[in-house]
Amino acid sequence: MKKNLFFGLTIIIFSLFSIQPGFSQEPEPPKIPEPSPEPKPIKIPEPEPIREPFPEESDTEKIQKLTKENEQLREENFNLRVQITELNKIIENLQAITLEQIKVIMNLVNQLQETVFEKSFPSMVNL
Protein backbone atom coordinates (compact mmCIF):
# COMPACT_ATOMS: atom_id res chain seq x y z
CA MET A 1 0.00 0.00 0.00
CA LYS A 2 2.87 2.28 0.72
CA LYS A 3 4.07 1.72 -2.78
CA ASN A 4 0.71 2.70 -4.25
CA LEU A 5 0.55 5.79 -2.05
CA PHE A 6 4.11 6.76 -2.89
CA PHE A 7 3.53 6.13 -6.58
CA GLY A 8 0.31 8.18 -6.53
CA LEU A 9 1.97 11.10 -4.70
CA THR A 10 4.89 11.16 -7.15
CA ILE A 11 2.48 11.21 -10.08
CA ILE A 12 0.54 14.06 -8.49
CA ILE A 13 3.74 16.04 -7.77
CA PHE A 14 5.10 15.52 -11.28
CA SER A 15 1.80 16.45 -12.80
CA LEU A 16 1.74 19.66 -10.71
CA PHE A 17 5.23 20.60 -11.89
CA SER A 18 4.38 19.87 -15.49
CA ILE A 19 1.09 21.78 -15.35
CA GLN A 20 2.40 24.78 -13.40
CA PRO A 21 4.80 26.04 -16.06
CA GLY A 22 1.82 26.28 -18.42
CA PHE A 23 -0.03 28.43 -15.92
CA SER A 24 2.97 30.52 -15.00
CA GLN A 25 3.74 31.49 -18.58
CA GLU A 26 2.68 34.96 -19.61
CA PRO A 27 0.12 35.11 -22.38
CA GLU A 28 1.55 35.85 -25.76
CA PRO A 29 0.80 39.31 -27.15
CA PRO A 30 -1.85 39.36 -29.81
CA LYS A 31 -0.59 38.86 -33.29
CA ILE A 32 -0.35 41.94 -35.43
CA PRO A 33 -2.58 41.44 -38.42
CA GLU A 34 -0.83 41.45 -41.72
CA PRO A 35 -1.62 44.50 -43.80
CA SER A 36 -4.05 43.91 -46.57
CA PRO A 37 -2.50 44.08 -49.98
CA GLU A 38 -2.84 47.41 -51.75
CA PRO A 39 -5.31 47.38 -54.61
CA LYS A 40 -3.84 47.31 -58.03
CA PRO A 41 -4.03 50.71 -59.71
CA ILE A 42 -6.47 51.06 -62.55
CA LYS A 43 -4.63 51.31 -65.78
CA ILE A 44 -5.55 54.22 -68.00
CA PRO A 45 -6.40 52.94 -71.44
CA GLU A 46 -4.01 54.02 -74.07
CA PRO A 47 -5.61 56.52 -76.44
CA GLU A 48 -6.07 55.53 -80.00
CA PRO A 49 -3.58 57.13 -82.30
CA ILE A 50 -4.82 60.22 -84.09
CA ARG A 51 -5.50 59.54 -87.69
CA GLU A 52 -4.23 61.90 -90.27
CA PRO A 53 -7.08 63.89 -91.84
CA PHE A 54 -5.97 63.01 -95.34
CA PRO A 55 -3.92 59.84 -95.28
CA GLU A 56 -1.58 59.06 -98.12
CA GLU A 57 -1.62 62.58 -99.51
CA SER A 58 1.19 65.01 -99.87
CA ASP A 59 1.24 68.33 -98.07
CA THR A 60 0.33 70.30 -101.19
CA GLU A 61 -2.71 68.09 -101.80
CA LYS A 62 -3.77 68.54 -98.20
CA ILE A 63 -3.41 72.31 -98.49
CA GLN A 64 -5.44 72.34 -101.72
CA LYS A 65 -8.23 70.30 -100.13
CA LEU A 66 -8.30 72.53 -97.08
CA THR A 67 -8.42 75.69 -99.18
CA LYS A 68 -11.33 74.26 -101.21
CA GLU A 69 -13.19 73.40 -98.02
CA ASN A 70 -12.44 76.87 -96.66
CA GLU A 71 -13.84 78.52 -99.81
CA GLN A 72 -16.97 76.37 -99.66
CA LEU A 73 -17.50 77.30 -96.03
CA ARG A 74 -17.05 80.99 -96.85
CA GLU A 75 -19.66 80.72 -99.63
CA GLU A 76 -22.08 78.96 -97.27
CA ASN A 77 -21.45 81.64 -94.66
CA PHE A 78 -22.14 84.41 -97.19
CA ASN A 79 -25.34 82.68 -98.36
CA LEU A 80 -26.51 82.30 -94.78
CA ARG A 81 -25.86 85.99 -94.09
CA VAL A 82 -27.91 86.93 -97.17
CA GLN A 83 -30.74 84.69 -96.00
CA ILE A 84 -30.58 86.23 -92.53
CA THR A 85 -30.87 89.77 -93.88
CA GLU A 86 -33.82 88.72 -96.08
CA LEU A 87 -35.53 87.10 -93.11
CA ASN A 88 -34.93 90.22 -90.99
CA LYS A 89 -36.60 92.35 -93.71
CA ILE A 90 -39.56 89.96 -93.81
CA ILE A 91 -39.86 90.14 -90.02
CA GLU A 92 -39.83 93.95 -90.10
CA ASN A 93 -42.55 93.94 -92.80
CA LEU A 94 -44.66 91.52 -90.78
CA GLN A 95 -44.32 93.69 -87.70
CA ALA A 96 -45.42 96.78 -89.67
CA ILE A 97 -48.40 94.87 -91.10
CA THR A 98 -49.35 93.59 -87.65
CA LEU A 99 -49.24 97.09 -86.17
CA GLU A 100 -51.40 98.42 -89.01
CA GLN A 101 -53.91 95.61 -88.48
CA ILE A 102 -54.04 96.40 -84.76
CA LYS A 103 -54.75 100.08 -85.54
CA VAL A 104 -57.56 99.12 -87.92
CA ILE A 105 -59.07 96.72 -85.36
CA MET A 106 -58.90 99.39 -82.64
CA ASN A 107 -60.67 101.90 -84.93
CA LEU A 108 -63.37 99.33 -85.66
CA VAL A 109 -63.80 98.62 -81.93
CA ASN A 110 -64.13 102.34 -81.21
CA GLN A 111 -66.74 102.72 -83.97
CA LEU A 112 -68.66 99.71 -82.67
CA GLN A 113 -68.54 101.07 -79.16
CA GLU A 114 -69.85 104.45 -80.27
CA THR A 115 -72.70 102.93 -82.24
CA VAL A 116 -73.72 100.50 -79.48
CA PHE A 117 -73.72 103.12 -76.75
CA GLU A 118 -75.35 105.73 -79.03
CA LYS A 119 -78.27 103.39 -79.78
CA SER A 120 -78.73 102.05 -76.26
CA PHE A 121 -78.29 105.43 -74.53
CA PRO A 122 -79.45 108.14 -76.91
CA SER A 123 -78.22 111.53 -75.98
CA MET A 124 -80.65 113.30 -73.75
CA VAL A 125 -79.44 116.68 -74.69
CA ASN A 126 -79.99 117.73 -78.26
CA LEU A 127 -77.88 120.63 -79.19
Given a contact cutoff of 8 angstroms between Cβ atoms, the answer to whether 53 and 62 are in contact is yes
Q: How far apart are CA 7 and CA 13, in angstroms?
A: 10
- 103 CB-near residues (< 8 Å, 6+ apart): none
Q: Which pLDDT tens digit goes with each residue over 59-88? A: 788 889 899 999 999 999 999 999 999 999
Q: Which pLDDT tens digit goes with each residue over 29-52? A: 777 777 777 778 888 888 887 776
Which residues in 93-118 are b (16+ Cβ under 10 Å) and which e?
A: eeeeeeeeeeeeeeeeeeeeeeeeee
The verdict on pTM exceeding 0.75 is no
